[in-house]
Amino acid sequence: MSTQGYVAIIDDNPDIRHMLSAALTDAGFTTQSFARAADFERALATKQPEVCVVDLGLPDKDGLSIVAALANSATATLVISGRSTLQDKIVGLELGADDYLAKPFEIREVIARVRALLRRKAPTTAKNEAEKLTFSGWTIDFAQFNLIDADGNSTRVSASEAMLLRIFLTRPNRLITRDQLRDELNEKSDAESFDRAIDVRLSRLRAKLKDSTKDPKIIKTIYGAGYILISDVSPATA
């Protein structure tokens, strides 16, 4: 069986580590498990995972510190935690988590969410979807997860931010509803959690685009309807 990607698992519970590792390996992933944040950080120096599944209650460090450290890297993060309140999820997403799943969980859902994160990360090969697009003085390089301004300065975007931006860029100057975003992102969470997650991701994306949250010029909120990206979009020249 060919590997679908390298997944790092960070959880201090050995039973959960074993269960996740066995299930993800059976599903075709290469996995490596860690009980402590420090062990993962040492391994990260030599090999970066495509996806990191991280618990927040680690013995040596809060898992949120790992989420924050990976927020602008090419690694997508899936938080799996006993902290299950909406506020906990919002904090995790604000720090850069790409997805959040509360314990107890169904192992099939973990596998599905890991696969979804990898689909978001994967560069497109479709003829009508360019790897680099320009808009409003910015260039997005989807293959490298880089957002580049007019002066050539680059900022990393997460997998979820890149996916959200791609949706807007493929429909410039057109209204996109939250329901359409939910369908495009293949989100399975409840409506309230999804709405807050989109708010957080959009806020992070606007910050990187230097687009005012109070009076945005690039991605406008149409209250009660959805969002519009106000810009012409074109493939970037080499």
Inter-CA distances, 181 with 108, 171, 178, 189, 235, Å: 23, 12, 5, 13, 23
Amino acid symbol at 127: K
pLDDT in tens, 21-47: 999 999 999 999 999 999 999 999 899
Q: What is the largest CA-CA distance in the chain?
A: 51
195 and 99, same structural domain?
A: no
CATH number of domain containing 25: 3.40.50.2300
Task: Go through 22-40 and write b for each residue having 16 or more CB atoms within 10 A of its CB, e for each that does not.
Answer: ebbeebebebebbbebeeb
CA distance 56 to 12: 10
- Residues 187 and 87 placed together within one structural domain of the fold: no
What residues form DSSP beta bridges with 125?
none
* Nearest CA among 59, 8, 68 for reference residue 38: 59
What does the alpha-carbon distance between residue 208 and residue 223 come to, in Å, rounded to a whole number? 22
Residue-level pLDDT at 127 = 40
Quick one: 10 and 114 in the same domain?
yes
pLDDT under 70: residue ranges of the chain: 1-3, 121-130, 187-191, 238
- Please enumerate in sequence order all residues whose Cβ is within 8 A of that of 19, keeping only pairs 6 or more positions apart, or say none: 107
User: 222 and 168 in one domain?
Assistant: yes
CATH of the domain at 167: 1.10.10.10
Give first-to-last CA distance, the chain, whole Å. Answer: 37
29 contact partners, CB below 8 Å, separation of at least 6:
3, 4, 5, 6, 7, 114
Structure-block tokens of residue 200 = 């957080």
126 inside domain:
no
- Backbone φ, ψ for residue 210 (5° rounding): 55, 40
What single-letter DSSP state applies at residue 84? -
CA distance 54 to 52: 6
Q: Within this chain, do residues 37 and 109 fall inside the same structural domain, yes or no?
A: yes
pLDDT given at position 56: 92
Q: Is 116 contained in some domain?
A: yes
